């Protein structure tokens, strides 16, 4: 992505901004002088963001079906970043209950569905973009986190479906999915690294060695800030995100148009 657009008041709404990658993303976007609305369930984390980075906070449950439409109408953003989600219980399949297995379907997928749906219905202004933060587990699976990998894969599909609907309606909205690699530098990633290291009889350092430098909230923030500012024509449908930045991923699934030709 080499081309950058300069749209006035490109307000960005970051859902799940009080901690981890979401916090890094909100901070990095605010640092390039883009107005940021940070959405989270807890007021304390948002208060720290607001004081340190001139970010406006909105305390809300992003999975509430009434919240997405209300906040999109109130702030009319031209960029929407969906990071919020639940932390899965790190256990093998047989040690999950249906409730623990499905927690990411009930939270991550639900949030993505509500917000993407409202972005299409409103619709967001022409030239807007929606960034759905999924997970690298959507590509490789995650046997110790119940339905997490399937939920994150479904987020990718929702992003692709939304792009097709936006194109059919001529809405000029860009949807893209970003899949971060596992990292020990967030509250979500630390328990996963510990669990997988134990599963394979390794220390956490040994388990992480093949991954190279870990993905930090700061690196994720810089990468997403780049997407927010990029010319829509240069944005890929999906990316893998590592410490090396964004790497475009090929679309393996057929598009609806391709399926219709079969």
- Would you say 103 and 54 are in contact if contact means Cβ atoms under 8 Å apart? no
Which residue, 191, 177, 146, is CA-closest to 248? 177
| Residue keyed to tokens 């393996």 | 252
| Consecutive 10-residue averages of pLDDT for the chain (262 residues) | 51 96 97 95 89 91 97 97 97 98 98 98 97 97 98 98 98 98 96 97 96 96 96 96 95 41 31
- Would you say 29 and 54 are in contact if contact means Cβ atoms under 8 Å apart? no
pLDDT at 251: 59
Contacts (Cβ under 8 Å, ≥6 apart) of 256: 164
Tell me how far apart the alpha carbons of residues 159 and 164 are, in angstroms, rounded to a whole number.
9
pLDDT at 173: 98
pLDDT at 177: 98
Q: List, in order of start, the domains of the chain with CATH numbers.
A: 12-183+215-247 (3.40.50.720)
In degrees and rounded to multiples of 5, residue 209 shows phi and psi of -55, -45
Q: Is the pTM of this model over 0.85?
A: yes
């Amino acid at each position: 992505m080499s081309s950058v657009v300069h749209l006035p008041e490109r307000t960005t709404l970051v859902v799940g901004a009080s901690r981890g990658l979401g916090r890094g993303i909100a901070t990095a976007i605010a640092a390039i002088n883009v107005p940021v609305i940070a959405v989270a369930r807890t007021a304390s984390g948002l208060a720290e963001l607001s004081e340190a980075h001139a970010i406006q906070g909105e305390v809300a449950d992003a999975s509430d079906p009434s919240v997405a439409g209300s906040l999109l109408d109130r702030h009319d953003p031209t960029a929407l970043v969906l990071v919020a989600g639940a932390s899965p219980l790190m256990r093998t399949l047989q040690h999950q209950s249906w409730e623990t297995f499905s927690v990411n379907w009930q939270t991550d997928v639900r949030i993505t569905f509500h917000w993407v749906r409202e972005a299409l219905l409103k619709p967001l202004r022409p030239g807007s973009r929606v960034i759905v933060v999924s997970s690298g587990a959507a590509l490789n699976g995650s046997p110790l986190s119940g339905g997490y990998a399937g939920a994150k894969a479904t987020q990718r599909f929702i992003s692709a479906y939304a792009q097709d609907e936006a194109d059919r309606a001529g809405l000029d909205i860009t949807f893209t999915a970003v899949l971060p690699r596992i990292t020990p530098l967030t509250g979500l990633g630390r328990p996963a690294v510990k669990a997988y290291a134990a599963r394979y009889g390794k220390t956490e350092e040994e388990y992480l060695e093949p991954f190279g430098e870990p993905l930090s909230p700061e690196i994720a923030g810089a990468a997403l800030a780049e997407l927010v500012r990029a010319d829509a024509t240069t944005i890929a449908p999906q990316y893998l995100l590592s410490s090396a930045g964004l790497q475009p991923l090929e679309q393996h699934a057929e598009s609806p148009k391709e399926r219709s030709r079969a």
